[in-house]
Every structure is written in C-alpha cells, then in structure tokens.
Structure 1
Amino acid sequence: MSTVEDQNGEQPSARFGHTTTVVGGTRVILFGGATGDAGRYTITADAYALDLSSNTWQKIQPDGTAPAARAAHAAACVDQFQLVIYGGATGGGSLSSDELYLLDFRNDQSAWMLVPVLGNTPGRRYGHTMVFHKPLLIVFGGNNGQTAENDIWYLDVERAPFQWNKVQLAAGAKAPMPRVYHAAEVCQEGPANGMMVVFGGRTGDNKSLKDAWGLRQHRDGRWDWVEAPTKKGSSPEPRFQHSAVFFGPKLLIVGGRGDDVTKSLPTSVYDTETCEWKNLISINRFRHSSWHLSSLLFAYGGFNHKHPSAPTADLQVIDLTQQPELGVTRKSTPAAPTAGRAAALPETPPTIGRGLGPAQAPGTAPPGNLARSPTPPRLAGTAQAANRRKELVGQDIRIAHQVYVGVPKEFSALVRKISIDKLEDEGKKINKQASPLAIVHEHDGPGIHNRVIKELLKPGEDYESSVGDDSFILDAREVADLCDQTFDHIQKEPMMLRLRAPIKVYGDIHGQFPDLMRLFKAFKAPHDLNEDGDIDTLDYLFLGDYVDRGAYSLETMCLLFALKCRYPAQIHLIRGNHEDRTINQIYGFRDECRRRLGEDPDHHASCWSKFNKCFEWMSVGAIIEHRILCIHGGIGGAIHTLDDIGSMQRPLVVAQVPSTDQEQKVTDLLWSDPTDNDSIEGVTVNETRDPDGSGRIVKFGPDRVHEFLKSNDLSMIIRAHECVMDGFERFAGGKLITLFSATDYCGHHKNAGALLFIRRDLTVVPKIIYPTERSHAVWDSAITQARPPTPPRPLPRARREDFPS
C-alpha cells in the first residue's frame, strides 16, 4: 500500500501541472504548476526544495531572472546540480516562450539563467516531455497550441554554442502517433539500456493511448523508434496525465486518468527483460509528479479521482520492496541513483566539469546543503523509516557484487552468474540478449580493414589448432597499408581520451588471440557477421600490451587496428609498455613479423617499424565520464595530475633509463605497479621489474591512489600490466582495479582472464573466462624459457588455496 508522508517547513500550496526533479541525490526541486480550485486556478512560478532526509520544504529565491509562471511544462536535471525548464502553458490558451532556463545549484547560491541557444527551437508547447540522456536533452511531443506533435528535438549540453537539432527519421520508419500529456523516462539497465521510453498520452482528437515506444540514438548517429512488445500480461488501460519512472529495467507507469475521470488506475509495470506487464496498487493521482529514491516511489500533488477539480499537496510513498509483483527484496535493492548523471552520488561529489552554466572553480565542491546530507535520508511517517535509512545514502562508483563467468571448453557461449567473493559458488544462469540494430559505417564495403574483420573476427573458433603455423591472412604490403590507415586515426587523438559509458575495458592480451575470441564469444563482440554485435550501444577500450609472448600478436594487432579503422570513434586503444620497439624486439613481436610476413624488420618501411610508429602516437590514458582514469601501468611516484599524463608529447619514445622528470613520468605510467597489499604505503622499489635496484621502476601504495583521486576529482583507477589470478583484482579499498585479459599467463599460472563492463550508472561489472586445457600452447615457449615472465601479483589470503602458485 501507499502511505501519505508528513511534511515540514514552508510547504507549497496544493497544485497540479508542476514538475519535481531530484537534484544532488537527496533534494527535490518543485517548480511552477497551477494552484487554487475549479474556475479559480492561478499559474505560478515559485520554486521549493524538499530535503528528503527530513521531508522539510523550503521556498527558494534564486538569483537571476526566473522563468515566467507556467504549468504543463517539462524539467530535467543535467549532471547533478543543474535543473533545466522548457515550455508549458500560462493560462487562457497562451503558451510559455520557447526559451530554455537553467537553475544552477553548483555555486554557493542558486541562480536562474537563460541558456543562449542558436537557430531553431522545438517551439512553444505544453504537455511534452524532456529527459536528459548524457549529453543530450531530448524533447518529445506535446501540443503546440493547435495540434499534438510527435517530433523529437535534442540539444547537446557539451557542445557550444548550444543549438536545438530536430531528429530526422529514415523514410518510412515507424514512429508513435502525435500525443500530449504522455510520460517518458530513460532506461539505465537491461536490454532497453540507453532508450528513452514513452508511454501513453492523448491524441489531438482526445483519444487516450496505451502504447509504449523506445527511442534510441545509435553510435553512428541514426535514430529510430521500437514499439515495445508484450509477451505476457495485458497492456495497461489507456491513460494520460500520468508519470513514469524506471526502477532498474522495469518501467513504472504511475497514476493518470482515462476517459472516466472518476476511475483511479493501477500503477502498471513493464519489465523490459521479459516484455511483461503487471499491475501494482494505485497511486490515485493525475497531473501529479513522481520520482524514486532507492526502492521508494514518491508522488506529489495533482488531483485525486474523488475530487478531480481540487488539487492536493499530498506526498505519497510506495516501498517497492513490499510489492511481490516486482520480484524485489530489500537485500537486492539497487543503490539510489542521481537524477542527471545516471551514476550513484559519492559521499563527496566530484566537480561537475561540463554543463550548461559557467564552470565551477577548480577544487571547489558543490554547495554542501545540496551535495549531500550529513544524515542518511529518512522518511517521516513510515513505520519502516529506521530500517530504510542506510539504503538511501548516496554511493560512490562501485564494483558489482557479482561477476559473470564464461564457461570454458565447448560451452563458452553459456554464462554463469556467481559470487564475486566466492568464485567457486555457482548461481543462476542468465541469458539476457540485447537487441541493437547493426551499425552502418562509412567504411563498410571493400577494404583491408573489412577483410581482416571478416576473416579474423570469428568468436569461438579454435585458433589454438594452428599454433606454430607461420602463415598469415595478409601479406606484408597489406599489413603496411592497414598500419598507415590506423595511423591516420591515431595521430588525430589526444593523449588523454575522454570517453562515455557504457563501455567494455580489456587488459593485457599479449598475443593471446584465442582468449580475445573467447571473451568476444562469451560476452559479445563489437561486430559479428553471424550475430548482432554491440558496437552501436557501447564503446571498447583496450589498455595496452597487445603483443609479445603469445603466438598470435599479428592476429591481435591487425584485428584491433581493423576495428579501429571501421569504428574510429568507438574502438579506443591506449599504449602499454610492450608497445615499445625496444621491448617488443626482445619479447617476440619483431620475430613474429620476420617469420610470418617474410620481412626484414630493421628496414625503415617494414611492418614492424610501422606498427611501432603507431604505438609511439597512441594515447596513453583515458577518462570515463570524468570519473574513472584508465591507464596501462600506474601513477608511480612522479605522476600527480592528469596534465602530467595528457601533456606527454608525441611521438613518445620510452627512455630505457630515465634521466629527466618527464622520462620518469613516462616510466611510471607504463611500468609501475601497486604495492603487494593495502598495508604497504608510499613509493617503494619494484624489485620484480627492477632487480638491480636502480629505482627507475617503482611500486605505489594505496595512499598514493587516494591522494591522486582526491586531488584530481576522480573516483577510480583501472589499470592493466600485471597478471592477477582472477583476471581482475581490487586495491586501495577498491579504488584501483588491476585487469588482465589473457589466461594462463605464459602457460604457468592458470590465471583467469577478464574484462570490465562499465554500465551507464558506472557500476563496474567484471566478466571472466578460465583457461582451457590447451591454453599453454598459445604462448611462445622459446621466449618464455629465455625470458621468464613477471610472476602474478600475490594472491589475497582468502584465495591462495584456490590456485597453484
């Protein structure tokens, strides 16, 4: 059942047609709407803040020029602390202006400002929806004063000057009919991840609707609509003036009215994973607003069906863990999401770097009263309040509590879900199939890169059977052409890449091409001729050490280069310590080019030379969503700022014996490791990699990690470079993850290989594979015997009995 919450402070008057928007994770901002009673409604422009820790309202008086009074407008939160308002009605048949207003909470005092926008706009309208799907504000539908619309407009908040763009669908493409008073929300989890989902509304001729549609922009820029299928249950009753929120992969349709205004409608739930509709209890409201925090669904204001002309000021709450139809228990409740970033709010929020308003001064935090609450939010008036406090506290970027494991041998397509802390405990199988459309790219068709993808990208095939075969699918001239094409893309990229989630991150591959194919088979490939790839829904980041030791460095390098050429904006390659001619002439890659391409590697135009030219121009770091730094090695003792990494000059030649501060920074970035455990702090000699004790290669402690993250407004470091037994390993209290994607390192250690899937909400999900019985055959035994591998990191104590040393 729903409960009506007690409210404190300067409570707003009863109203309808308003908006409520979560800001900073613990505050809700109410703006506008209409107050009064039938025939005596007054349109307002007042703003209130609701503190969810105490259900206390405060009327706010921001600086600047506020939007004119309006109702039936739309609002959205950009990043964590910026609220935008667009459109609405002013009463008497008049509409609000087509200006975009921003309420900025990042500085000590809140302030309204008018966002300067060039060119055309969506125009005046009411009853439309607006969502923020980073970095885009998306406006859909509504009524322009004469007719209902089904047009789509978007504005990129990270690209100035700001400009509205109208989406042009392909000729003949399906689209929802024009509508007003519908609801829309962005899904952040499951097969509809990244879609704006629209439900219901009313047509221009006053017909109520009950259809659901998903809108997605593909990575190549295409937009399309997909009508949501129904496999189980009955579609909800037609409705309009309702609201919608996503709870994980489930869309909740809250309240609304149909043709009979006196009839209350149940809360309907659409599961995007099973395509099933179910009904929950009714919230008994329309023209209200709603939001959710953790597993609590809130609804504020609007009309009830018994008195459909007098608005209310009630705050209603439903505990979704008490709804058995949702299949949710309190133990599995997801962390409270933030409104704009789709990432859980950290205890100390990072500086918001790119938004619509003026940039926040470096090193300053958002205002404390909006950034976080010193006390976990509580829900006044509910019997379960005390038990819910801890569940509502904002969380930092987190590692998922479960890891996905691709089963080896003949069952690599089967996926098991098991505990992250007890890798031997099996859980239930999962079988979630995404449904992206095949991406269309300007480089489709003939070309060396397309030939390589066609002939090499075959997930699951047995490459191990051809070990020792000196043939290769390309001749030296073709490999050289592929290197030249790749160089054209790499040289244009900055040393520090700025990337978006969702994204898959891979660690060291070391010529272990069969493992790359097994990871692609178990967890999807970017492009697959036989199945749908997932490149149109996420990016791929590889952290270096593509070559050496393994028997398939050419396959690995040529496929990654081919993918880079085909999808230059979605495949990202950064440099490892083996992407260095001094190193890879010793550890196998030079000899492999000589044997398999029949070339003289020392010739200035050889493929080996061209590969290394590309390596010297590769980026050396990447930042995901301004929060996660990805590098190959570490921060050592010489790297203190992001600029230390981003300012490195190209072509970057690694000094084997660093003699300057800049050379030491390069060595630290590509060669340094974390200390053996969290109890060893500071910067120490790396005796494993630097046995002569020269001090040029070091280990860095957890204190260095915490200091670096704090001073650079980051939340996590992901790095590669070291073999770890489970394929990934946490350090510095989980603030640093080491990732290794090649199994059974050099045929000695029986380690697992892993990738990290970083979801849109910045949850880090490890996905691992175990070595096969024949995995040792893919390592170059001559290299291994002549130059023993660096041993894996010491196992955590709880894991030492699970694997042989």
Structure 2
Amino acid sequence: MDVDDADHDAPPSDKSEPERVNGGVRDEDDSTSLPPPQGPVIGPKHAPSYRLVESVIEKKEDGPGPRCGHTLTAVAAVGEEGAPGYIGPRLILFGGATALEGNSAAPGTPSSAGSAGIRLAGATADVHCYDIKTNKWSRLTPLGEPPTPRAAHVATAVGTMVVIQGGIGPAGLSSEDLHVLDLTQQRPRWHRVVVQGPGPGPRYGHVMALVGQRYLMAIGGNDGKRTLADVWALDTAAKPYEWRKLEPEGEGPPPCMYGTASARSDGLLLLCGGRDANSVPLASAYGLAKHRDGRWEWAIAPGVSPSPRYQHAAVFVNARLHVSGGALGGGRMVEDASSVAVLDTAAGVWCDTKSVVTSPRIGRYSADAAGGDAAVELTRRCRHAAAAVGDLIFIYGGLRGGVLLDDLLVAEDHAASETTNAASHAAAATSNAHAGRVGGRYGYDERLRQSVSVTAPDGSVVLGNPVAAPGNGEMHNDLNTENERMQSGRLTKGVDYLVKASAEEAEAISATLAAAKARQVNGEVEFADRDRGSEATPSKKPVTSLIKSPDSSGLNNISGVRLHHRAVVVAAEPGGALGGMVRQLSIDQFENEGRRVSYGTPENATAARKLFDRQMSIHSVPKKVIAHLLKPRGWKPPVRRQFFLDSNELADLCDSAEKLFASEQSVLQLRAPIKIFGDLHGQFGDLMRLFDEYGSPSTAGDISYIDYLFLGDYVDRGQHSLETMTLLLALKVEYPHNVHLIRGNHEAADINALFGFRTECIERLGERDGIWAWHRFNRLFNWLPLAAIIEKKIICMHGGIGRSINHVEQIQSLQRPITMESGSIVLMDLLWSDPTENDSVEGLRPNARGPGLVTFGPDRVMEFCNNNDLQLIVRAHECVMDGFERFAQGHLITLFSATNYCGGLVNYTLPSLLQR
C-alpha cells in the first residue's frame, strides 16, 4: 500500500537552526520573543512566522520523540482555573510512525536514498500530552481498550474528547471504528463508539472534521485499492448513530488522499490540497456547507494557492486557514515562503509570508539567499501535524530530508483576532471584550474553554455533571431538624407571601374565569383573532402576522422513560458514547452578508464564492442575545437598567420565535433525554445558576444530546423578565428542535400587566417602546404551545388537569393564538389548577387561590393517566420548598425553578431530567 513518497530521500539541510525560545514567547527577562504584532497592512495580513518551543520533558518516555503520520489535537481546559481538579488546555498527540523503511538506524537519523516510505512496523498507539500552561510534555496511559497502532489516521476534538478513526498499521488497514479518548478526568479513558449500518470502511490518508459542532465528516483517502472521493457524515445529534453517504451538489474535489479538512466556526468545511489518483499534488481548496433545506454543496474556494501540496497540515484560526509544509512528490517539498500560507476566507485570498498571492509561486523567491529564511525553512516538512489554541498555531514533528522530526513549533496569528466574519467568535468577542482574559505562557484566552465531558457510572460518555454538586449548599433539598428550626420564621413569612401572591393572582383572573364559564354554559365557540394584517414597531418597522401551520408528525417509537431527581445525566445508549461528546451549533442559520471586498483576481468574485459569503451574521439578534446573556458563571445584573435591545431587535426576535411556535402543535411530542424547568418568574440569576450547576443549552454545554423544556411563567415578580424571555426566545430560534417552551398563567396580558412585566418593559425601554414591547410579547405568548408529551409516556403542563381535562385531545384541540379571555375552562384548568394538599384528599376541592379555581386529587391524576396511557404528569405553577415535590404516589411531579420566591420564601430549585 502506498504510504510512501514524503521527502525522506531528499538530502538533509545544512542550514543553521533558529534559536529556540523557552515556551515560545519572551519571558520578562528574555530578549527573544514571538514576532510582535505586525504594523498596519492594507488588506489581508501575511502568514505568521514560526519559532521553536523549548518544552519540558522530565522523562524520556514523556516526549513523543521523532515521528510522522501522527495527529495533534487541541483539547479545551477542564474546570475553573484555580479550582481543585482544574486541567488546563492541552495538545493531544496520538499514533504515527517512529521509523522509516530501509532504515535500521535509530529513528531520527537520515535514511538511505531510495527508501520506500515509513515503516508500518514502527507505527504506535502512544498518547502524549502537551500542557499549554506548563509547557510540559507527558506520556498518558489511558484506561480502556486502546486503538491499534496506526499512522495516516484522522482525529478531531469534541470538547474534552478526541475522536480517532481509520489509518494504517503493522497489520494493514485499521478498522473503521470510532475510538474516543475521554480526557475529562485525571486518568483518561478509551471508549469505542458503536455505529449502526455501513460506513466509510477502512481507509487511510483521508480527512475528518467536526462540522458545525454536529456532523462528523469523513472524506476521501485510500482503501488499499483506489483513491476515493466519497463524503460520509455522522449526525451526532441523531440516535442511533449511523454514517450516511452524502451526494453534495456543486463542483467537488477529485479522488484524493493526504489532504486536510478543517471546519470554520460557523460550519463551513475547507478541504485543502491532497494528491489525486495519478499521484499529482493538488492546489485547490474546496468548501462544503449544509443548506437550510438539508442539501450539502461543494464550492471552489476563491483565491490563488501559492503551491500544490499534500501531506501538509492545516487549521483554522477564526476565518483564516493556516496551511504549513507539504510534499510535491519525487522527493520535493513546498519551498520557503510558500511553505507557510493562509487562506483568508473573509477576503477570499491566499497569503504567504511575503504578500497576497496572485499567481502560483514557482521555485524560491529571487530575493531569498541560498537556503532561504531560517524561520521559513523550519516549516519545510511533511507528514507533520498542527493544532490551534486561541490565536496560537502549534506544529509537531514530521519528515524533512529523510529525518523524522521531534520539534514543537508555535506561531501567533495577530490578524485572526481582527477578523470579524467568523460569527461565533465575533459574537463572543463583542459581548466579552476585555473580560476574563487569563494570561498564560502563550496568553491563552480562558474564554475559549468549553464545558467538559464526564463518564457516567455505566461507562457511557456524557457531558455536564452526572450528579451536579450543590453550589454553596444552595441546592441541597434535605433540611435537617436544626436547619428547619433556624429557618422556621422565614418559612412562615414565606408562606404568608405565597398566600398574598395567590390571592392577588386569583383576583386578577376572576373576571376572565367568569367570562370563560359563561361562554361554556352558552355553548359559544370562539376562535382566536387571526388578523393577517401587519403591525409596526414604534419605529415603523413592519411586523408580519403569522398563521399557524401545525406539524402533524408524531413519534412512532415508545420506550420506557425515567425521571432523575437531581441527577443530570444522559440516557444510556447501548450504541455507544458519541452523543455525550458533542456540542451542537446549527449551521443551518447562514445569512447572506453580501459580497466582500476581493483582493484577488476578478474571476475570484464569481458565483463560486457564494458558499464562502454565506456566513452567519454577526448582527443576528438571537446570536447577539446569546452572546450577551448566556453566561452561566459570569452574568451579573446590569448596572444600568436600560435594556440592551431596541424595539426593532425585539421585533426581529419575536417574529422569528413566533413563526416557530406557530408551526408547532398545541401539544408537543418530544423525546428523551430532556431537562425540565419549572417557573422562572424573571429571576434570571437563578436560571444562570441552574445552567452553571447542571449544564447549559449551548455549544459548550449539552444542547446536542439533551433537550430543554420550560413549563411557563417566565415573567413577573423577578427583576429580569426581559433577560429571561429574550434568552429563551433566542435559544428557541438557535435550537428550534432542542429548546421547547410551553405557556404558563403569567403569559397573559391581564396578569403580567399587574405583576411586574409591563412595568419592567416601560422602565427599561421607555414608555413608548416599553408598552409596544409588552404588547408584542403578549401576542407571542398567545402562540405558545400548551403542553408536551415525552416519549408518549409523560405529559408536561404548567398547571394541571382541574375539573375539565380528561383526555389529551382536549388540550390539542385548543386553537392558537389563544388569549385567556377567548379560552375555555380547559385553558383555565390547564394553566391555573393545582393538586390537593396531599394524597389523602381526593376528588375536586376549591382552590385557595380564589373563587372558581379548583384543586384535583390523586384519583383524578390516576384516572387521567389511565385514560391516556400515560405514566406521569409533570407540572409547575406552585412554589414547592425543595423545588421538587411528588403527588399521587409519584404519578404527578411539581417543579419550581425560582428561589426566594416573592422576596420572602426560602425555597430551593433544581431542574429534573427525563431519560429513556
């Protein structure tokens, strides 16, 4: 098999090595440093220069040593710096070959001319770790069954895990299995992910990348018989896991091997270089992206590549693809200034270390002295590996002049921090400018750290905390006798607050209840207003009304469902561990920002650039909201009460979310695992604390494999209803299939006009815009779904079943948009009723909330569950002391997610999670 012609038979260079730098950057008393930021340059910045890193290797076996054909993968930090168990950002080196064919000497010595290639018998399955903060290499010995020794394999990072696939070793082609190295704990562990159905098959010299934080893409390579061009995708958000062969539209790459694939943060994959079936090196780069309708499409990247190449390395830093080294065949490698290049996907041009490239470079620069620039000569290599951490690009090992290399290089891309087209980076930078910067050896930015993965007791790999520890004792549910005595005074006061709050709500709703009863007695049927006209924001921006378009799709598979109290874990999947290791970032939200300035030739500004111009808008309102608000550990109440969105932005957000709600059924059909939250009541700090303790709905959290369900009462009473509501709507827009909201009794104009939301809108947006925003939110509330059924076994609602609800179809038949005034007794019971005091009180009883409202006993719960073949009712609406309370022998659960309710009740909160 052809794992050959790197430049191993070229004569070794006699050039002097550049001076090594301790840690890659200058210490306070060191006169050497990384190159300072370049001065102002018109147009795209040139490729950066690399320097050697003098890393610490305490024992010989800790260092990776000379090798090629390995992988180098950047892994995020684990935990909070300074906290127990913190593990800093790392580079994980796996596998590779440590010897050359025809070379009996020790690795690292020149081979004889005419050697055949790397020695597969010298392939390894070693794992080495480079700690970025300490500048130290170490040898890891993970638990579990490791992959077989291999080289020319692929690897990609998913949070704190590294996925390994394919390659070739002493026994021939490696299997197509996915191996996962979980690096969350102090002692790493190997896992094997079982994937159903046919897949890419054994191959080597191929490429793999995680696209959009969701799709594992495997492309090309060689299966031992031929060079390939096929494209395979594994959707890590879909279970069971299976590979799917794609047939992308557009002009794609020819069959090739030894290329590189790198994913931009917004989900665009770049396949660069490679060697075709005729052993000809390729210069082209191809972009692959997924359209909103599910289609995948290839497009040729704009710009002129400085040189064809294969067996090179490439990695994205923001929108700049950094390419290094590579072979040309026949013992030749990419030379001098062209050995380091950058494809600036924002400008649509290639740059090398000298200038913007307008035509292919042939040979050395005429101004280069014999031997060229030592710093550029340093990157003249092939079969090496590269990884990026923040603005830093690292390179390790490879092959040059028949010598296996064991050096670590680093460069810093100052221009990348100025690039604004990579939406997720830019959005985060906008909201967190100059915040949270933690200085390290390389100035590594701790804001890039992601939340981490953990291993469940059953061995499955999950994200988040399997049993989240209470923070500061605030989330313990069990109160001992002493604590109960100490808090009894405050508890009594809290009960008084609850009684008062309930009475106020009952008074507010009494007129609506009377009207609903009258309509029911008279047999009237009222349909909600479906005015198709348009409305406008205070600034006259048109707002389109939406007509409901129900989705009638249901669930076909019924499985057992379990409720985990306090435990935030992922469903145990017999098919493997992949679902727990991926953060999802939708790449279906590309928005056209218009054509960018092109610094290349006119033909670059053609339709071939359309995929590269289809980037996620930095100014997208949902992304702005998420970047500004979703800070589980860093959010603080704003010093100025003025809200950060204006009325136009609120209109955009409400329009987008309302369209989604209108397309959903009144009763949602959902799948486990799913996290469920009770009343929030504008207590945004509580929501952030819950996200911090139990995982958050983000690309750095668990959104890809755990859904989120919120049971209503998002506004009123708390001080930050606007933050709560806008973040939930933004999350719904960003993750429409993973985040679900149903309606509570405070999502009604005549209630939230009295209990704080209207006042907050006016106070923080001004009277005109505030009143408009309050009306706009309430129109959206009328579209909210009314209940949700999970796995056809558990129904979730805000209030209860009251006196009138006997079948789920009664809820489903309620037509939206629906107001409290136009609703029926069914809606009133659904949003307002409560269970009786305890399991001994059966039937229907008057509700202490006020006249006309009822409580229902355990017999009603059992009857409803039997009528609808359900196991459980999960509801909110009532403040329960522990945040979680059982009723009807466990067939009804009440959740509440706002602490210190009404300012006087010392209650505790937590989400619950349902799993299969």
The TM-score normalised by the length of structure 2 is 0.44
- Between the two structures, name the one with larger relative contact order (CA 8 Å, sep ≥ 6): 2
| Larger strand share, 1 or 2 | 1
The TM-score normalised by the length of structure 1 is 0.49
